[in-house]
Structures are given as C-alpha cells and as structure tokens.
Amino acid sequence: MCEQRAVPLDSPSILCPEHMRAHGEASLLFSLQVAEVLRGSETLVVSEDGRRVRRAVALESPEEVARAIDERSLYAAPFPYSTTLDDLTAFFNRAAPVNCVRQRRHLASKDFKGSCFVEFASADAANQARSRAPATPLVPTLCVLPNIHRSMC
C-alpha cells in the first residue's frame, strides 16, 4: 500500500488556486464548507478541524493495481479492421459488464490492428465472458493474457 497522509484542503492542488489566495478569509470559509460536505464521504476522511483531508483506504501499489487489472482482462482477436470501439463494447457487454475496451492501434497510422484488450469488473466476470463469448465468425479466438499484455500495446 502507498503511504497515506493528510493534505491541507487549502493547498494549491486542491482548493486554493492563485486567484483565491488574495481573498484569505473567504478562502478559509470556502475550504471549511467543502470540508463539511466531504465529511459524508465514504472514501475520504476529514480532520477534526476541517483543514486536512486524506483517503479512508490507502491506494494499492502500482504493481498490485496492474496485477488486478491483468486478472480481469481478456485479449481478443481477430476483428475486422472496420470494427469500432462501440461495436466491441456492445459485443462483450453481451457476455458480462465491461469496464473498458482498449483497441490496439498502429503507432504511425493509428489504424485498428484487429485486436483489443477488454477489462471487466472482476476476474470472475472475465472468466464468465470468456466462457460465454458469443460464437460468431467475428471472434474466432478469445484468450486470457496474463501480465505480458502491457508489452503488446
């Protein structure tokens, strides 16, 4: 897990752009009002004085996030080169709800390569989609790729 520390609400990166600093007291009042709204959040924790905020649960390390994404992602090919992102999303949504679809594209021309990565909400949903993928000539090959997919993009 990444380090979790509280950040001042009136820091430049959160609520205090340059033009607000000139208003001093108004800026403080505004940050206290924002703190009051954030107190109802399930993902953020506001300090008792209302001046600092932090995540309720620390972020996972980038390696853990990458591993989790790999577990719930599929690689699918081949598709006709004319297939759109909406076509791919609709196709895979028939098997299981899709988080996102990433089309592989040629670097120079940006043309679709005919393959994609599909990320589902969970590894179970990815396995369900893999077993229930509609049998059509559109997708004769559908396989799960582990961590190596990052080098293929």
Mean pLDDT of 97-117: 93
Q: State pLDDT tens for residues 45-101.
A: 888 888 788 888 888 889 998 888 888 988 888 788 999 999 999 988 888 899 999
Look up the CATH number of domain 70-151. Answer: 3.30.70.330
Q: Which of 127-131, 138-142, 144-148 ranks highest by mean pLDDT?
A: 127-131
Mean pLDDT of 28-42: 81
Give CA torsion, residues 84, 88, 90, 96, to 10 deg: -170
Domain with CATH 3.30.70.330 in the chain: 70-151
Does position 113 have pLDDT exceeding 70, yes or no?
Answer: yes
Supply the pTM of this predicted model: 0.62
Per-residue confidence (pLDDT) for residue 151, from 0 to 100: 46
Does position 144 have pLDDT exceeding 50, yes or no?
Answer: no
Three-class secondary structure of residue 46 per DSSP:
strand
- Summary mean pLDDT of the chain: 77
Is 65:105 a contact under the CB 8 Å cutoff? no
Q: Print the SS3 string covering the chain.
A: CCCCCCEECCCCCCCCCHHHHCCCHHHHHHHHHHHHHHCCCCCEEECCCCCEEEECCCCCCHHHHHHHHHHCEEEEECCCCCCCHHHHHHHHHCCCCEEEEEEEECCCCCCEEEEEEEEECCHHHHHHHHHHCCCCCCCCEEECCCHHHHHCC
Q: Which of 16-20, 75-79, 129-133 ranks highest by mean pLDDT?
A: 75-79
Q: Which residue has the tokens 């988080």?
A: 99
